[in-house]
Structure 1
Amino acid sequence: MISSLNRLVDLVEQHLTEEFDVKDVARALGTTEHHLRRMFSSLAGMPLSEYVRRRRMTVAAAAVVRGEGDLLGIAVRYGYGSTEAFGRAFRAVHGAGPSDVRRDGGPLRTQPQLRFHLSVEGSRPLDTRIVDQPAFRLVGHAARVPLIHQGVNPHIERHIAALPQEEHLRLKALSEIEPAGLLAVCDDLDPDRAEGSELTYLHGAAVSRDTPTPEDLDTIEVPAGRWAVFHTNGPYPQVLQTTWAATATEWFPSNPWRSRPGPEIVAVSERADDFSTATCELWLPVEPAAG
């Protein structure tokens, strides 16, 4: 995976003045666009699209400062149809417009070219099992919320708090298959996992595909497939979020599996009354990596 990510970075450099198809790149590297984007954003700390934008504006800034033609010509060279669109993108990265930077020589915020390196991690083992799961259905109460990488998500917190206590008991009673109990489900995630991007959050339970769904509940149909299930125990949500990150930095690079599209599910089996600690299972959809 490390070599694939470095090859992707090299291709970004070769196509800074034009668009390129990430799906074709992933296919050539023997993986999928979904997995490549997820691994990049997890390891780089930014979405691939954001890295491309920063690198493009870094190189474009050099052309602006060196006076390599008029601003419209530079804008067109880097894929923008007008100086206004180029100026907005330029200012978003550098904090100043191209005319100001050409006159003053700055300010400039440079994005260095990334290189991924293998480091020795994994001193804390990940308690994992692989599950072959038939098609099933997730039922519950869904809402569109922004993605927040660290700490409690207040939008999810408000969504759950708005449900009466008897509704939590009702959903828990509906649970009939694994993943068991009340579930926190994230679906329709942005491929780049960009902070603030919207996802569908569902508070609910898993039932078999043939179980009738109450009309007042939202549903997510989940096809048959394999899942990597990670057991976590400790301060909540910190340990869960640390494990989530470790799946990208440690587990996927050292195991013959890759992520596939699908909901990501957290099942809470035990918790403190104030939810300061919890025992959870993190269910991630996976498929065999190409040999």
Structure 2
Amino acid sequence: MNPVDRALWYIESNLHDPLALADIAGVAQVSPFHLTRAFALRTGYPVMRFVWRRRLTQAAQRLARGEGPILHVALDALYASHEAFTRAFKAEFGRTPNRIRNTDDLAALCLLGPQPLRTDMPKTLTDPAVEAMPARIFAGLSKRYTLETRFEIPAQWGQYDAEGHQSAHVIPDKWYGLCYNFSDDHSFDYLCGQEVTALTTLPEGWAHVSLTPGRYARFATKAHISTMTQMWSEIYEDWLTRPDLKPRPGPSVEYYPAEFDGATGEGGFEIWVPVE
């Protein structure tokens, strides 16, 4: 069973008990850093937000069925008071618990049900090349994303191409996307651009990211760019659970060689992940 499946099983089995990220990661047999990345790629939620949304979903279903006083439902969902529960419930669903109790209408709520386990996830990547990478600098257009907005990244590439800016000292015919500055809520910065041999004045709105020397696992595929999310999930749910490929903090890299065609999404790409 992969780490996300272990985490999902543990969460569902212990949803009404206190849960902490470190404990869930321990059951998943990976580090909290690793689980955070893998879990978000699979579910679209940070681990603990998923836990609280599942609890609130179950609370909403109980309220609609008329089960028990609202305070009892709140305490079962591990909220300390009726007021705290009401605030969280309204922030999550846009309606108060009392309204759901009175109308028993869940149709307008975006509920989060149990997630299916994927122990049979197909493997498409071959063994990565692991190499000691020297210090490198990348420059380009950078924007911040959340789990909900990350699907807008292709539009960022479109803006980058349309603006046509070019930094001095650029290495031509190779393009990179870097994910970095991850926060606890799994928001992150994404830079699309190219490698440079030296830093000079950058165009307005651009940023640069430096990779410190260290080991990287390079996963290569000839698949269409639309499989990017699938590849990331496979890397974190399978490959990086192996003892010789433990992930470490640092920017991850999408590499697009000269053969990659941005118009069609064909030509293949690589994903580079920092490993110990």
Give the TM-score of the pair, scaled to structure 1: 0.70
- 8 Å Cα contact 1:95/1:107 also seen in 2: no
Give the secondary structure class of the aligned counterpart of 1:275. coil
- 8 Å Cα contact 1:38/1:191 also seen in 2: no
Q: 1:228 corresponds to which residue?
A: 217
Question: Counterpart amino acid of 1:10?
Answer: Y
Unaligned runs of 5+ in 2: none
Give the distance between the partners of 2:248 and 2:214, measured in 1 at CA: 10
Question: Counterpart amino acid of 1:219?
Answer: H
- 8 Å Cα contact 1:232/1:240 also seen in 2: no
Give the distance between the partners of 2:170 and 2:143, measured in 1 at CA: 19
Q: 1:213 corresponds to which residue?
A: 199
Q: 2:101 corresponds to which residue?
A: 102
Residue 204 of structure 1, aligned match among 194, 214, 223: 194
Give the distance between the partners of 2:168 and 2:201, measured in 1 at CA: 17
- 8 Å Cα contact 1:130/1:227 also seen in 2: yes
Q: 2:274 corresponds to which residue?
A: 285
C-alpha displacement of 1:205 = 0.9
CA deviation vs aligned residue, 1:41-92 (integer Å, no higher than 9, x gap) = 23345432342122211332355454533x4565466455775653354246
C-alpha displacement of 1:181 = 3.6
Q: Does residue 258 of structure 2 align to residue 270 of structure 1?
A: yes
Give the secondary structure class of the aligned counterpart of 2:222. strand
Give the secondary structure class of the aligned counterpart of 1:161. helix
C-alpha displacement of 1:284 = 1.3
1:50-129 map, 5 Å: 50-61=49-60, 64=63, 65-69=65-69, 71=70, 74-75=73-74, 78=77, 80=79, 86-91=85-90, 96-107=95-106, 111-114=112-115, 116-119=117-120, 121-122=122-123, 124-126=124-126, 128-129=128-129
- 8 Å Cα contact 1:234/1:278 also seen in 2: yes
The 3 A distance-change label for structure 1 pair 156 and 76 is farther
Q: Does residue 179 of structure 2 align to residue 186 of structure 1?
A: yes
C-alpha displacement of 1:263 = 1.0
Q: Root-mean-square deviation (CA), in Å?
A: 3.8
C-alpha displacement of 1:220 = 2.6
Q: 1:2 corresponds to which residue?
A: 2
Give the distance between the partners of 2:52 and 2:105, measured in 1 at CA: 18
Give the distance between the partners of 1:115 and 1:283, measured in 2 at CA: 28
Percent of matched pairs sharing the same residue: 21
The 3 A distance-change label for structure 1 pair 48 and 233 is same
- 8 Å Cα contact 1:137/1:219 also seen in 2: no
* Number of corresponding residues: 267
Q: 1:177 corresponds to which residue?
A: none
Give the secondary structure class of the aligned counterpart of 1:153. helix
- 8 Å Cα contact 1:229/1:283 also seen in 2: yes
1:101-180 map, 5 Å: 101-107=100-106, 111-114=112-115, 116-119=117-120, 121-122=122-123, 124-126=124-126, 128-134=128-134, 136-146=135-145, 148=149, 150=151, 153-164=154-165, 167=166, 170-172=169-171
- 8 Å Cα contact 1:9/1:115 also seen in 2: no
Give the secondary structure class of the aligned counterpart of 1:270. coil
Unaligned runs of 5+ in 1: 174-179
C-alpha displacement of 1:116 = 3.2
Give the distance between the partners of 1:3 and 1:218, measured in 2 at CA: 34
Question: Counterpart amino acid of 2:180?
Answer: D
Question: Counterpart amino acid of 1:266?
Answer: E
